[in-house]
Structure 1
Amino acid sequence: MNLSQRPPRSPRVRLGGYVLLPRVLDKCRAEIAGTSGDYHYNCPMDRRFFEFAGLDHEALKAEVAKGGGDGEVLAWILTNRKNQHSDWEIAQWSAHREATAPSDNESRDFINQMVAQAGGATREDIATIFDYLDLDDYVTFGGKA
């Protein structure tokens, strides 16, 4: 996983029903390999997953470092998470995260500036944080806004 050559998976991609988790795993694997580029494991967005699941980011990193695939890591997460949510609770949390827009003016201004820098100032379809992350990943690796 070399995140200086390609982005992590979209925050929309789900594993075990959790949005963000595949992206978190990509960034974790890249950090372990020393190839995280501009991406950061345990960033504020990642912490939303850790808080919801009730997982320690260092414990997950130690498990990922063992080299297991997504299915094996998910099995570990389901066994070791402190917050034993039902499938419908995970689905609701994931839907909420996917629809979340910046909630304060400072965050909205930041996202608007970042979208403008990515060349998407006239894009009306960039409304949520996930929309922005997908656009940023696309533009960072050569796409046009």
Structure 2
Amino acid sequence: MSTPIASFDLTQRPPRSPRSRLGGYAILPRMLDKGRAVLAGKNGEYHYDCGLDQHIIKFIGFDPAALSKELAAGKGDGEILEWLNANAKTPRTPWEIEAWSTYQDKRGPDSDAETLGFFAEKVGQFTKTREDIKTWFDFLDLDDHVSFGGKA
């Protein structure tokens, strides 16, 4: 089932959480939302093929420009997943996908002082009191929530 591109307005709501899964893959639904929003000219401050997206692009092995063409054709999530599975340079088994997605879900800033400082600074832009923001996904969910009117 195709979804109209115009429905992806990321100036009105955030993309899906990076924790959302499609075919077991973390990050993928968020990337699809951003890609559709870019095509509709409604991506706001969100970027397609960004650093976060690069994690899944490299893991599966696909061309983000080719994926964008599939999105422009109006393909739904299931159709996109089929396309990715058929065009993956590195086909993955279910256990590889699960392990990778679990790792991504728990991935926090590197332990070097520069990265930890950057992470703390970014989190500090939204809250000075929350101690539960430990991973990059935690940060992105917080950013999305606060950016659309929620309280930290």
TM-score range, shorter chain: over 0.9
- Structure 2 length-normalised TM: 0.92
Question: Where has structure 1 moved over 4 Å in runs of 4 or more?
Answer: none
* TM-aligned CA deviation for residue 106 of structure 1: 2.4
Alpha-carbon RMSD across the aligned residues, in angstroms, is: 0.8
Unmatched 5+ stretches in structure 1: none
Unmatched 5+ stretches in structure 2: 1-7
**1:60 is the counterpart of 2:67:** yes
* TM-aligned CA deviation for residue 105 of structure 1: 2.7
Deviations 1:98-139 (A, max 9, x none): 000011332222221121111x22111000000000000000
Cα distance in structure 2, aligned partners of 1:110 and 1:37: 23
Q: Which amino acid aligns with 1:93?
A: W
- Partner in structure 2 of residue 117 of structure 1: 125
Cα distance in structure 2, aligned partners of 1:9 and 1:108: 25
Cα distance in structure 2, aligned partners of 1:25 and 1:49: 11
Structure 1 counterpart SS, 2:89: coil
1:69 to 63, 66, 76: 76
Structure 1 counterpart SS, 2:101: helix
1:107 to 84, 95, 115: 115
Cα distance in structure 1, aligned partners of 2:108 and 2:124: 16
- Partner in structure 1 of residue 87 of structure 2: 80
Deviations 1:12-53 (A, max 9, x none): 000000000000000000011111000000110100000000
Instruction: Give the fraction of aligned pairs with identical amino acids, expressed as a percent.
Output: 53
- Structure 1 length-normalised TM: 0.97
Q: Number of matched residues?
A: 144
